[in-house]
Structure 1
Amino acid sequence: MTATATPAPDASAEAAPALPAAGSSFYTAMRLLPKARREAMYAVYAFCRAVDDVADDGGAAEIRAAELDRWRTDIDALYAGRPAPRVRDLVVPVQRYGLARADFQAVIDGMAMDAFADIVAPDETTLDLYCDRVASAVGRLSVRIFGMPEDLGIRLAWHEGRALQLTNILRDIDEDAARGRLYLPREKLARIGLVDPTPGAAMTHPRLGEVCAAVAAEAEAHYRATWEIIAASPRRATKAARLMAAAYRLYLDALIKRGWAGPRARVRPGKLALVAVALRHGLI
């Protein structure tokens, strides 16, 4: 896209974001990795966090557009051997693990889908593209760092990324609606009579549960495929992927158990449940 205004760089724009929260499943999963791979994942996380912050809190649309374009330019320069200060932590991971420029650019494109207009009831194709860009592209970067075989790794990223992102969508439907966003797919909403839905109308519709249940079933299918790929993969390379899949499946199970009727309480699996999952999969 063409930027209409370019903000001047400042110290805050160049600063790397904080590491993931110590209590998060992502942080726990990354701690399972050897030091070099863990530091590579933190560099990828910092990039994703910074781009996400632009999309969510980057100011006026023209400023967000300019900053996302600047990130695209910085990624291109990184691969041309001229890394800007804010992407220098990616130099070693890119060289050591063969990370693809297209995946970094896909993450930026995914954040751009959120940056300039609120997503409201995307069609199935658009929703799948969004999931691929904001989740599976991150997965493709991650599986190379984990040391997965190429074919298995790409398939794992495809399924696990979608499983996790659909779980996020179901977990956050009320919070997203409060921000004017609705990620549930248009075709499924049309089946319950919402042809031109708004977030508010969807959240209060008496048949919303049918849509959520259908999306949950798709997520479950992706989790099943994820575990089939993990079972066929080298165990040492799947520790982090196993923990992420198991932890997020706890969220999905809790959502299904809670149900979809309002008012919907926020679900958060407890630490003991996460510990039990880690023990079950031999991760601690």
Structure 2
Amino acid sequence: MTTIGDIDPQRHVRDVVRQSGSSFLWGMRILPKPRRDAMYAIYAFCREVDDIADEPGKEVDKRAQLQEWRAEIDRLYDGAPTYPTAKALLDPIRDYDLPRAEFLTVIDGMETDARPVVTAPSMDELMTYCRRVAGAVGMLSIHAFGATRPPAPDIAVALGNALQLTNILRDVNEDAMRDRLYLPRELLEKHGVRYDTAAAVLHDDNTAAVCADLARTARDYFAATDALLAQFDWRLMRPAILMMEVYRRTLNRLEARGWDKFREPVRVSRPEKLWVAFRYSLF
């Protein structure tokens, strides 16, 4: 019988990343091994707390599990982690000074997702959510990249916003089936869309205009990231740039598909991801 203590931490986080099929894998692979291992551990942490929030179950149970992860972060920074993923984070937090507050910020974001229903946050609430679930990951990542001087933190937050808004636009239908509506209430009200339930929003023709507006906001964050990268040694941010290009292609495809076709999935193909990874690994 295998116990938690028997699990090899490095193998565990690598398995989590590989089994996820995430686009983030392509960006991590181009890093030197020590930094790549750090990113694997960061990603595995994010994946595990996200799974707590997303899996079926009572909100009280999910919050209890997330609270236990808060306690594990305390143990990690005291040098005595017990979870395999936290053990894999032990060297990265020492080697790359990963900020404790950002791990806790990710958990804050997952507490939003742990609710049984999410209905039309305000724009301010939505951007706070993006900062927690995406910007915090970016802030941890720049430490693993060795790219922390300004404007790297601003890049991390702007790009996190762009990626998360793209995720929200891509997943409107899937989220609605789980009683989650992340489209901001200001835009829904602007276009006369009632948001009593998440599913009802899918059947309103004006929801397409809401998505188009939010897509413009995502574009603005991509443009802000481009402008900030022009002030920085972009080679230090290659994994982030790779992710940006994959997600920018996703947003392009969503717009080309049309915002009234929520049920038609949009994906960037494996060959395209390979091409982007190859392109940014050459320099």
Alignment partner, residue 32 of structure 1:
30
Shift of the alpha carbon at 1:264? Answer: 3.7
Q: Provide the C-alpha distance between the structure 2 equivalents of 1:261 and 1:196, rounded to a whole number of angstroms.
A: 16
Q: Provide the C-alpha distance between the structure 1 equivalents of 2:92 and 2:161, rounded to a whole number of angstroms.
A: 24
Q: Name which of 17, 20, 30 aligns with 2:17.
A: 20
Q: Given the alignment of the two structures, is residue 155 of structure 1 paired with residue 154 of structure 2, yes or no?
A: yes
Alignment partner, residue 270 of structure 1:
269
Identify if the C-alpha distance between structure 1 residues 282 and 47 changes in structure 2 by more than 3 Å, giving closer, same or farther. closer
Q: TM-score, normalised by structure 2?
A: 0.90
Alignment partner, residue 125 of structure 2:
126
Structure 2: stretches of 5+ with no match in the other structure: none
Deviations 1:203-247 (A, max 9, x none): 111111110011100111111111222222223311101100001
Q: Provide the C-alpha distance between the structure 1 equivalents of 2:129 and 2:170, rounded to a whole number of angstroms.
A: 17
Deviations 1:103-154 (A, max 9, x none): 0000011001111332111111111111111000000000111111332221
Q: Provide the C-alpha distance between the structure 1 equivalents of 2:262 and 2:149, rounded to a whole number of angstroms.
A: 44
Deviates more, 1:228-237 or 1:64-73: 228-237
Shift of the alpha carbon at 1:281? Answer: 4.6
Displaced runs of 4 or more, over 6 A: none
Alignment partner, residue 5 of structure 1:
none
Task: Check whether the contact 1:255–1:267 (CA below 8 A) recurs between aligned residues.
Answer: yes
Q: Provide the C-alpha distance between the structure 2 equivalents of 1:210 and 1:283, rounded to a whole number of angstroms.
A: 40
Identify if the C-alpha distance between structure 1 residues 273 and 150 changes in structure 2 by more than 3 Å, giving closer, same or farther. same
Deviations 1:22-79 (A, max 9, x none): 7642111100000000000001111111111111126322221211111001101211
Identify if the C-alpha distance between structure 1 residues 37 and 279 changes in structure 2 by more than 3 Å, giving closer, same or farther. closer
What is the CA RMSD across the aligned residues, in angstroms? 2.1
Identify if the C-alpha distance between structure 1 residues 267 and 45 changes in structure 2 by more than 3 Å, giving closer, same or farther. same
Task: Check whether the contact 2:158–2:222 (CA below 8 A) recurs between aligned residues.
Answer: yes
Identify if the C-alpha distance between structure 1 residues 43 and 278 changes in structure 2 by more than 3 Å, giving closer, same or farther. closer
Q: Provide the C-alpha distance between the structure 2 equivalents of 1:62 and 1:277, rounded to a whole number of angstroms.
A: 42
Deviates more, 1:107-116 or 1:23-32: 23-32
Shift of the alpha carbon at 1:276? Answer: 4.0
Alignment partner, residue 214 of structure 1:
213
Identify if the C-alpha distance between structure 1 residues 58 and 71 changes in structure 2 by more than 3 Å, giving closer, same or farther. farther
Alignment partner, residue 165 of structure 2:
166
Q: Name which of 47, 61, 64 aligns with 2:45.
A: 47
Alignment partner, residue 242 of structure 1:
241
Deviates more, 1:54-63 or 1:221-230: 54-63
Q: How many residues are paired up?
A: 274
What pairs with 1:76-225 in structure 2 (closer than 5 Å)?
76-86=74-84, 87-225=86-224
Identify if the C-alpha distance between structure 1 residues 150 and 84 changes in structure 2 by more than 3 Å, giving closer, same or farther. farther
Q: Provide the C-alpha distance between the structure 1 equivalents of 2:263 and 2:54, rounded to a whole number of angstroms.
A: 24
Q: Provide the C-alpha distance between the structure 1 equivalents of 2:75 and 2:191, rounded to a whole number of angstroms.
A: 48
Structure 1: stretches of 5+ with no match in the other structure: 1-9
Which amino acid in the other structure matches residue 144 of structure 2?
I
Identity, in percent, stands at 43
Task: Check whether the contact 1:186–1:195 (CA below 8 A) recurs between aligned residues.
Answer: no
